[in-house]
A and B are shown apart, each in its own frame.
Chain A
Amino acid sequence: MASYNLKINGKAVAVTVDDDTPLLWVLRDELNLVGTKFGCGIAQCGACTVHLDGTAVRSCSIPMASLEGANITTIEGLSDDKLHPVQEAWKELDVPQCGYCQAGQIMTATSFLKQNPNPNTEQIRTAMNGNLCRCASYNRIEKAVALAAKKMS
């Protein structure tokens, strides 16, 4: 067990956990931030995507030992009172079916649009390819990322 200091959604947080505990389970079980989902545990599905220093990462595969002082944003911290333009686009296009993977999709999309604010279809499809949606709401995710880019420009 060791103590870690992190900044999560803008707030300083200290947790005492085993070094090998993945960030995902610290968020979910220790901090009750359950918006970040467990899907595969091996960084293959993207359900657990959060931002580490602003970049999308798979929280299921990052042990706490590597995160002292890290700055993490989860779906709960993506927006304050208002929705983020990506969330707005998701809502406008009625994207989710079961909804389970959508937090991860949104976190991937927001990080991607920061790096590429004006993507073409091919770039969107490549950027979102790592996030599985078993309900296959892919058409709407693709359109929502494009719509969000338009909203943010």
Chain B
Amino acid sequence: MENQNKFTLSRRNFIRTSALASGGLLIGFNFLTSCGETAAPPVDITKLDFKDFNAFIKIAENGYVTIFSPNPEIGQGVKTSMPMIIAEELDVPWNHVSVEQGALDTTNFSRQVAGGSQSIRFGWDALRQTGATAKQMLINAAAAKWGVEASTCSASNGIIKNSNGDELGYGDVVNEAAHLEVPEDVTLKTTKDYKIIGKDAINVDMNAIITGKPLFGLDYVAENMSYVSVMRPPAFGQKINTFDDTAAKAVNGVSEVVQFGDKIAVLASNTWAAMKGKKALKVQWINDSNLENTADHDAELFKILDGKNLEIRREDGNVKQAFAEADKVLERTYESPFLPHNCMEPMNFYANVTADKVHLVGPIQTPAGTARRIADLINRSEEDIHLEMTRMGGGFGRRLYGDFALEAAEISNLTKQPVKVIFSREDDMAAGIYRPAIKYRIAASIKDGNVTGYHLKEAAINSNMYGLIPHFFPAGAIKNYKVESGNYQSNITTGAWRAPYTNFLAFAEQSFFDELAELLETDPIQLRLDLLKNVKDGEDPNIQYSAKRMTDTINLVAQKSNWGNTKDGIYQGFAAYYSHNTHVAEVVDITLKNGLPLVEKVTVAVDCGIVVNPTGAKNQVEGGVIDGIGHAMYGDFSFENGQPQDVNFNTYRLIRMKETPIVETYFVDNNLSPTGLGEPGLPPAGGALANAIKAATGQILTKQPFVKTLQKHDASFKA
């Protein structure tokens, strides 16, 4: 989207100011939505609530600025990058800015959610306007003080100047500014004037992280709090028949054992006692529904792919005819397992349910929705719920689901005491909300050396690709095109996992294109570029990738990776993918050691519009790419009789440093509005790796994790 610098939107609709009792100016604002007619920010900074405003800026009398960042921080860097945008337009030195995590008091906010890589994209305009409006208010206050026209004054680096050469610091006029009208028209900076945006800013929580300060949900403690370990059914499809808690209660430190639903909570004076108490429970489980197996899932998903009951998600032209008239047809089926999220910080939450209020503290990507569900669950008004967000030790989608917070609230409500629910790693992996197992069958028809038809079928556990995914590339690039999906309903809980669906779909399609290129005797990159020529940007509102931006991104990666001109012994694989509004192209370089692949380097080109914080942006891309390679290579998770077969890192394999490639990231230089980076780096990685392995060995990988196929190929393969 073209970046805008002028807005007609009324500032009054989403910004309000107040003079702080302790001196200084407080600006409350909302992203996208307006605030209520009567809303006013508090005059006491300790009374900040996030009901009417989801973000605040405090400018103190010494000119220092505190930004209360509204979005949950899961490691995607928004706690640094979003305040940078405000500081840019406010025009204050970045080292005069400090950032605090905003809490949440449930209602009336717009988007206080981390997910879908959308924080920056949605915040961009509101954050810039807020910063610019605040700066104009300070200029107006200074102008009034000097008795000159505001238009003769300017502000930069926290200092306001007039044409007579007078100067005032922002802090000198904050108390006056607090009583002025919020200006209606402000002009935003153009990108060439940026001083903060586009420069590296290290993570605002850096010192706290590297010195071990309490930041995370697991670090939160409250007076008289009990530590709680929860026994959940060991298999999906089971429930409690009877249980004996004699031995659990005998564990030193255990204070109480209580059943809630099909779970049992063990409360204790410390975490270890709670965990020991849980292990001492003797529970008889009975089967409530089917105990499912991975082999059954495989059979069911194949039945869907082979069947006729799929839902059409997009259809162009006549695929049937294209295949009937084809010279050649290529068809492949791609398979992926369930995956657990495995955030390094296991799920946990604090709850204290009392007669007057419900106090909740913890790591959650969806504070608002979770607060509402808790209100429903324990039959309380939403007004009573006060939820504080902590920094999160990873999210990857898992912390969109508030199940652990609901457990804490329910246990506190039952036992009438403050509790902290802590999952062990085994709890975390076995009571997951997994990436569903999925299979894709892709077929393409070729006639006279051109791709004439494309048919993709998706069979997934529980749910299917969502939103505009059916309209992603190659939709629009191939005349006869069809996407269909179907699902099998399982009692295993599934949900969003970093780059939902596309984390595997991109691998399937991008591997398929590599084979297609071979069949067409053309270079894999050239095939993509040729197909993109068929797409007219903006013609189909459902097609949101840009052929131009994707072409530029692909050309950049081809150049930076030395595509086609590498040293002997290096094999390359290419993939490109658009997701979460960002265009990404990747080239993986591998070498062979004893005939087996070693991933050496990944060259990445990214078009995410204006790069707000280059160091943070690169960190997201590096992480996403290695995450994509790691899970494609090693991620495996199966069920026997409803029970996950891996519950800790001794058998569940995550990528480790020795297996990681060096990631080199390059951004397409443009002035377009920024888009997110938490997810888009991941989807192309698996495909680019598979294509490199194919180039090196001829081995065609259609099933994740790759390590299983490679091990079959050579039992000695461990890397």
* B203, B426, B627, B650: the one within 8 Å of A96 (CB): B203
- Give the number of A-B contacts (CB < 8 Å): 184
| Size class of the contact patch on chain B | 35 or more
- In contact, A135 and B657 (Cβ under 8 angstroms): no
- In contact, B344 and A139 (Cβ under 8 angstroms): no
1/0 contact trace for B399-431 toward A, CB 8 Å?
Answer: 000000000000000000000001011100000
* Residues on B with beta carbons closer than 8 Å to the beta carbon of A35: 211-214
- In contact, A134 and B657 (Cβ under 8 angstroms): no
* Residues on B with beta carbons closer than 8 Å to the beta carbon of A75: 210-212
- B663 near A: Cβ within 8 Å? yes
* Residues on B with beta carbons closer than 8 Å to the beta carbon of A137: 619, 622-623
Per the bound structure, the CA–CA distance linking A42 and B648 in Å amounts to 8
Name the distance in Å between A76's Cβ and chain B's nearest Cβ. Answer: 5
| Size class of the contact patch on chain A | 35 or more
Given contacts A34-B219, A99-B209, contact A134 B394 (CB under 8 A): yes
Per the bound structure, the CA–CA distance linking A83 and B210 in Å amounts to 9
* A18, A42, A94: the one within 8 Å of B649 (CB): A42
1/0 contact trace for A103-145 toward B, CB 8 Å?
Answer: 1001000000000000000000110111111111111111000
- In contact, B252 and A25 (Cβ under 8 angstroms): no
Per the bound structure, the CA–CA distance linking A67 and B327 in Å amounts to 74
- B215 near A: Cβ within 8 Å? yes
- In contact, B391 and A98 (Cβ under 8 angstroms): yes
- In contact, B270 and A96 (Cβ under 8 angstroms): no
1/0 contact trace for A82-110 toward B, CB 8 Å?
Answer: 01000100110010111111110010000
- In contact, A96 and B654 (Cβ under 8 angstroms): no
Q: In the complex, which of the residues A32, A135, A137 has the most CB atoms of chain B within 10 Å of its own CB atom? A: A135
* Residues on B with beta carbons closer than 8 Å to the beta carbon of A33: 212
- A13 near B: Cβ within 8 Å? no
Name the distance in Å between A40's Cβ and chain B's nearest Cβ. Answer: 4
- Among B47-55, B74-82, B510-518, B711-719, the one that faces the other chain is B74-82
- In contact, B648 and A136 (Cβ under 8 angstroms): no
Q: In the complex, which of the residues A28, A35, A106 has the most CB atoms of chain B within 10 Å of its own CB atom? A: A35
Name the distance in Å between B391's Cβ and chain A's nearest Cβ. Answer: 7
* Residues on A with beta carbons closer than 8 Å to the beta carbon of B253: 18
* Residues on B with beta carbons closer than 8 Å to the beta carbon of A135: 75, 344, 394, 623, 627
Residue of B nearest to A33 (CB): B212
- In contact, A129 and B658 (Cβ under 8 angstroms): yes
Residue of A nearest to B252 (CB): A18
Name the distance in Å between A140's Cβ and chain B's nearest Cβ. Answer: 7
* Residues on A with beta carbons closer than 8 Å to the beta carbon of B377: none
- In contact, A91 and B210 (Cβ under 8 angstroms): yes
- In contact, B207 and A134 (Cβ under 8 angstroms): no
Per the bound structure, the CA–CA distance linking A141 and B662 in Å amounts to 12
* A18, A30, A103: the one within 8 Å of B212 (CB): A103
- In contact, A102 and B649 (Cβ under 8 angstroms): no
Residue of A nearest to B208 (CB): A99
- B200 near A: Cβ within 8 Å? yes
- In contact, B344 and A132 (Cβ under 8 angstroms): yes
Per the bound structure, the CA–CA distance linking A21 and B619 in Å amounts to 37
- A51 near B: Cβ within 8 Å? no
Name the distance in Å between A13's Cβ and chain B's nearest Cβ. Answer: 16
Given contacts A129-B657, A138-B626, A140-B619, contact A45 B649 (CB under 8 A): yes
Given contacts A25-B271, A32-B221, A136-B622, contact A96 B648 (CB under 8 A): no
1/0 contact trace for B371-415 toward A, CB 8 Å?
Answer: 000000000000000000001111110000000000000000000
Name the distance in Å between B92's Cβ and chain A's nearest Cβ. Answer: 21
8 contacts between A and B (CB under 8 A): A18-B252, A29-B227, A76-B212, A83-B211, A96-B205, A130-B656, A136-B660, A142-B660
Knowing that A78-B211, A91-B207, A94-B203 are A-B contacts, what are 14 other residue pairs whose CB atoms are under 8 Å apart, sorted by A's residue number?
A37-B216, A38-B218, A41-B275, A42-B650, A76-B212, A83-B210, A98-B75, A98-B345, A99-B393, A101-B344, A101-B393, A102-B210, A103-B210, A125-B657
Chain A interface residues (CB < 8 Å from chain B): 1, 18, 20-22, 25, 28-30, 32-42, 44-45, 47, 74-76, 78-79, 83, 87, 90-91, 94, 96-103, 106, 125-126, 128-142
